Every structure is written in C-alpha cells, then in structure tokens.
Structure 1
C-alpha cells in the first residue's frame, strides 16, 4: 500500500503530462478559463499547458492522500508531510510563473531531505532507520553493515538529486518527464535489489559464524 502511495504521484504526473502534450490547445484554454486567476498574467500558453496540468494533478493527489489517511486514522509518515509541503510550494510557483523549473526541483529537494535525514539519524545518531524501516531488528547483521548501507543510500540519494538536475537543465521537459518515470524508478529498483543482495550475503555470513561458534 505504501509503495502504491509513493509511486502514484509519479505515475499520475507522467500520464497527465503525456495526455496534455497531445491536447495542448484545449488544456491551455481550460487552464486559462478556470485557473487564470492563479497564474501571472492570467493566460496559460500551449507550450507550458501540459506540465502545468500535470503539476496541478500531482498537487491534488498529494493533498487527497493526506486527507484520506487522516480520515482513515492511518499514521502519516514524516516524508509524506515533507513531500506535501514541497510539492504544494513548488507547484504553486510553477503555476504562477508559468515555469516548469520549480517543479523540476522537487525530486532533488526530496532526495536531499532523505539523504540529510539518513546522515543525521543513522551516521550521527546511530539509530539505523533503515533497519527499523525493514523491520530487521532480529537479523544477525552487525552495525557496521547497516552503517555501510546507510552511506550507500546517502550517496545514492545525492547522486539521484544531481542527476535529476542534470537531466532537467540539459534536456527537454519531455525527456525529463520520461526520466522521472522510467529512469528514476528503474535506478531505484536496481539499487534496492543490489542492497538486498548485499544484506543477504552478510546475513548468510553471520549465520555461518553462529553455527561455527
């Protein structure tokens, strides 16, 4: 369920943008008519219509996610609150200034927050949030392994944040949207699998050491 909530905004942004690209004039007209009061100058051009519509949809979905979880009395993860604040703030700037630059910074800011959070919790404070998130308190894995995994995730998040900015500024918006959907998710999947393999190797080594003892 949590995985679905995490990826729903990304999929929605991608699908809405692609649909909007095929209906630029109609989307621009609709946004101008219904949301012109929210944008600088009151008129949305066809060139920016798709990304503005996708941004609007992501903001709405993020708000709905929090409201639904509140109504269901489900615990809301801190990262969901942070993501909501970031997407609403950058989304508002994107809509008002007719510029996709703001929303393109959203992934980088989220990656930076996650990297900073891991650095403080796992490296500085030694809480090993990764171990808690994986519900792996009972695994026979030394703290040094969890520390290495934390550093690996920190490096991954920093790298992803920089890569996002590189694609955003060096390529077209359409390329960035494709990268956000397929590139980011693909790299995340590959890295997660590699982490699992690394962790399982150390688990096997720990179990073997126990048996020898």
Structure 2
C-alpha cells in the first residue's frame, strides 16, 4: 500500500506536466506529495522515517522554489540531489560499520557484516547511478524526455536491480521468512 501511494505524486506530475507544462506538473507533484505524506503520517501514527522526511522536505523546497520563482531548474535538481543524499548516506553507513541496508532488510536476508556492507555499497552505487541518470535527463535532454524518465523511465532500471539483487542473494534469504511462506 505504501509503495502504491508513493506513485501518486509521480502520476500527478506526469499528468500536470503533459497537459499544462512543467510548472503545473510541479504544482501537482507538490500537492499530491503533501496529501500522500499526510496519509502516511496518519497511517504511521504521527511518525516519518528519515527517508520520508528527506523526500518530503526536498519536494516542498524544490517544487516550492520552482513555483515561486517560476523556473523549473529547481525541480530538475530534485531527483539528482535526493539520489545523491541516499548514495552518500549509504556509503557513510557502510564506512562506519552501521550499514543501513541491514536495518531495512534484516527480516529478508541473513548476511554477515561484510555481506551487509557490500549490499549497502551496491545500493549506494545504484542511487549514485540514478542521480547521474536523472541529472543527464534533466539537463541534457528535451523536456519530454526528462518528464518521461522522471515519471516512469527509472522504474524498469529499479526493477532489474532489485530482481538481480534477489537472484544473487536468494541463498541468503532469512530462514524464518522462507518457513513462513511454506506453511
């Protein structure tokens, strides 16, 4: 449910940008994000995790800047910066031996500390690559190409990465998880 809700702002951006331009898309993205995060806030009993705070605050900042200054440059920077923050945060967590992917996926995989660090670095590299792709599409391609990539172009890349991750780590699935699914 949470993942499906998170697609609503992207759909709102796509529809707004396609029909009325990038500024309308920024407004639709901002409004949809605030509504979706209000729903998350209620469902999560008045709490956001750090990732949700980063996305919410940067969306308000970049969409707000785009709308107030009537310049889409701010919105174009949103995705590269968010992906860069995630990449840097993951790299730092691995470097200080507190890999964040362990917190996120400990119920799914049973890995050694070295395994968690490698997984965290893999995700950091993925987010860095996505930041570069978002930058390239935002600043070197047409508005249409950027809108398409920002809305749904990154999804197949993410799916391939996640499927590849599970293919590589299938032998490390948490035994408790596999026992639950076979009962």
- Taking structure 1 as the reference length, the TM-score comes to 0.73
Q: Give the superposition deviation at 1:193.
A: 0.9
Counterpart check, 1:151 vs 2:121: yes
Residue 81 of structure 1 corresponds to: 53
Structure 1 residues 5 and 117, CA gap change in structure 2 (3 angstroms): farther
Q: Secondary structure at the match of 1:160?
A: helix
Q: Which moved more, 1:61-70 or 1:141-150?
A: 61-70
Residue 132 of structure 1 corresponds to: 103
Unpaired segments of 5 or more residues in structure 2?
175-183
- 1:14-163 matches, within 5 Å, as 14-20=14-20, 50-72=21-43, 73-121=45-93, 123-136=94-107, 139-163=109-133
C-alpha separation in 1, matches of 2:133 and 2:40: 32
Q: Cα deviations across residues 139-197 of structure 1 (Å, max 9, x unaligned)?
A: 44222222111111111111111111111111111110111123211111111111111
C-alpha separation in 1, matches of 2:52 and 2:91: 19
Bigger radius of gyration = 1
Q: Cα deviations across residues 72-107 of structure 1 (Å, max 9, x unaligned)?
A: 425322211111111111112211232211101111
C-alpha separation in 1, matches of 2:151 and 2:24: 17
C-alpha separation in 1, matches of 2:40 and 2:170: 34
Aligned length: 173
